[in-house]
Chains A and B, each alone.
Chain A
Amino acid sequence: MAERLTRDDVLKVARLARLHLTEEEVERFTGQLAAVLEHAADLAALDLHDVPPTARPVPLVNVLRADEPRPCLDRDEVLAEAPAAEDGRFRVPPILGEAP
């Protein structure tokens, strides 16, 4: 079972989630999240190895649609909401790494 949530855990998780935290926030969040996770420890104590997980409460399978084209959005309407656009594309600052 995982140990109590640490500062380092919070920093690592904030990085994964692309969030900057102030020092004060790191302290505060570490305490608050650790308290919530302690309740999660009650769950961990249960022996549920033969209970299947439920991913969603609706017993549907095979929801499929026909391979038929539908109308696309008007590009102007899409780009009107873009923070920055150029040449019909979304403009962003330089990307430093390749896609994983």
Chain B
Amino acid sequence: MVSFNALIFAALSYVIILFAVAFLAERRAAAGHADWLQSPLIYTLSLSIYCTAWTFYGAVGYAARSGLEFVTIYLGPTLVMVGWWWILRRLVRIGRSQRLTSIADLISSRFGKSTLLGVVVTIISVIAATPYIALQLQSVTLSFAVFAQSGAEAWDRADFNATAMWVAVGLAIFTVLFGTRNLDVNERHHGIVMAIAVEAVVKLLALVAVGVFVVWGLAGGPAEMLTRIDNSDIALWDQDHGRWISLIFLSAAAFLCLPRMFQVLVVENADERHLRVASWAFPLYLFLMSLFVVPIAVVGLDLLPEGSNPDLFVLTLPLSQGQDGLAVLSFLGGFSSATSMVIVATIALATMVSNHIVVPLWLSFQANQHAMMSGDVRHVILLARRLSIAAVLTLGFIYYRMSGGGTALAAIGLVSFTGTVQVLPALIGGIFWRGATRIGAACGLLTGLIIWTWTLFLPSVGVDAVISQTVLANGPFGVTWLKPQALFGIDGLDPLVHGILWSMVLNTGMFILGSLMSFPAPLERLQGAQFVNVFERSVAAPAWTRGAAGAEDLLIMSQRILGSREAQAIFEREAERQGLTGYLPEATPAFIERLERELSGSVGAATAHAMIGQLTGGSVVSVEDLIAVADEAAQILEYSNKLEAKSAEQERTARALRDANAKLTALSIQKDAFLSQISHELRTPMTSIRSFSEILRDGEMSAVDQGRYAGIIHDEAIRLTRLLDDLLDLSVLENGQVVLNEQTGELSALIDRAIVAAGLHESDLEIVRDRKKEAVVLSADLDRLVQVFINLISNARKYCDAANPKLAISVTKSLNAFHVDFRDNGSGIAPENEQLIFEKFSRISDQSKAGGAGLGLAICREIMNRLGGDVDYIRRPEGAAFRVTLPKERVGAALAET
């Protein structure tokens, strides 16, 4: 038989070991060897605080009373962990990117950094957690009593109270020591996490050890155990279906919403990848924790005397079999379950209370004096947190004393779960629905809180304690549809299912309704977008505009929250990032936002926002700022559109330039060719003139020869003159110095003149004409017009390379012009030359058939332009065709004159 003193000794030694473990872990982490402290295994084990003393001791009692229903409490978390991809992955990512400190911080931060919501969630959490902490104190006290009573010491009420008080004091000391070492909640509590991991192993070992002893030691093996279970009095499957589903939902939701679970799942998470391991490892842990519950319950009911408390079978069964070592291990397991839960729950609650209630209050008292410049906020916050820890534990202790510590453990646990779960609609809505608003969240939370208090919490305190028996039976003031356990007249439901159902339905309904009907503030919408789109890494619009805050003021404030070393490091890093020398960066909106996030890791989003708001003159984001941001984006877009248009225009210009350049290059080549041509042209007649004139000078020749030579000299001189005339003519035309002599005449006569002048009598070119159509009277400079015709006809004579050359001259009328077409049956002009033939000095063939200098068509075009018409080359399947266009009004005017 274990003496009570030995048990105390064992418990104290265990506590000292835990202290040592926590201390060493802190030391290791401080020395920078935190690597294995941040392994997936430690993360998974730290989640085990879900399994409290309630589950360690209570599960067996639960199974003894209600069969398999106890397992629902583990199935819910298993579902959440297995479905980590849906919710937990998102929560952890949000928690890390927003540096969340607690679930109240999450709700407050999501809904526009609202202080009010933070307060509401904190209050719900504290109310819901207090009975739960009381439960832990009770179970530890009860387990002590079991040993005391087995040593024939009869405990009275005072003994229980004293034990509970000492346990509470011990827990407070441990939590304050290791839970408030640093302010930044986002910095991991290595000591505590490590101690919790050790406790997780101890409680698992203890329960498995008792289970193995029961199955193999007492029952004689798994097969016998199963037969024994089949024959036992417990009806394992006698389920109220509503309870089975409701409890699985409840435990799943509580797993997400419990402040202590949020602390270990999200806040203490060092690496998102740990979640992947925990997704199967933690269900495995839960599986092992519940595997032996039914065997222990069945064997306990068989072996222990009638009327013994099934909640304590885990302890009393080994004790009754004389297995003292096992009993002590089991005691330590229960002790571990209770203490680890209380420690984390207290830290989580204390963070919430200090960040969302104490610090905002303190700030509002200080605000008038601009006291941001004096006093150390760090001390205030740390003190607030320590006091909160003490207060939470005191509350738990008071609840324990008031409740009398007698009722079945599990019932309070489930009521407490339901209270916590009221945060669920706001939580899920907040991370998946951008339309969720602050008003909606507040409506839902308050509705849920009221329904829960009325239907579950107040009745659970005890009949006639707060709600009298008559109210319970007939409703308040006789209003029957408000009966706490039969709202709206729906009777006959299990009270717990009734409470869960109505609180969740009304809570969610009000949340959705409130969200749909209200309009969110700009900051809310920003935060909403950041939470819901956390995986898209969208660029967040800055929540701060450039305010009045100087970097120095910000530094002073940050120093007093983060500590001077930390704060200065942040500022120096920022200065370096901005490329400034020195340690004070510019207070840009981006930096202020980063700083705020840094601060919110210590004091929560709402408080950090408020503190920075004080310094920047409250210049938080407004609708105008958002519009400005949008405007800026629009401007940038417009600018880039303009650039695009410009660049397109430049491209067009460049293309035109390229074309022009190509043309110029071609012309330049032509010109070079022409120059050599013209020197040749000038040189040939000059040579003959010189040589024949020399012969004439020398004399001694017949008169006939003399006449012939003089004729040659004359001809050559004419050729030269013609060439020079052409050049002159063109330059006169181009300079616009030409004088036009208006004359009137008939077109056919002009063509006749041209044909004669072109010297066709010497060639075999056949002319095809339609004289009827040519009967048009013109009024223009007819000599110039004839010059054009001559040029076109003699071109045909010169270049038409057909065997029987033909030239068709036809006149057509269009709406406001006459067209005279000259079509031959030669090979025409190659398309690439069509544009060049009208240029000066251009000649398509280099052979100088007729001694032309390539000026003819250029002169023609100049003349026609002067006359108000044009001459064009027309592309045809065969032969060349030129069209001379004469404007009609000129013709008309001529007609009027005749």
Chain B associates with chain A:
no
- Chain B residues proximal to chain A, CB less than 8 Å: none
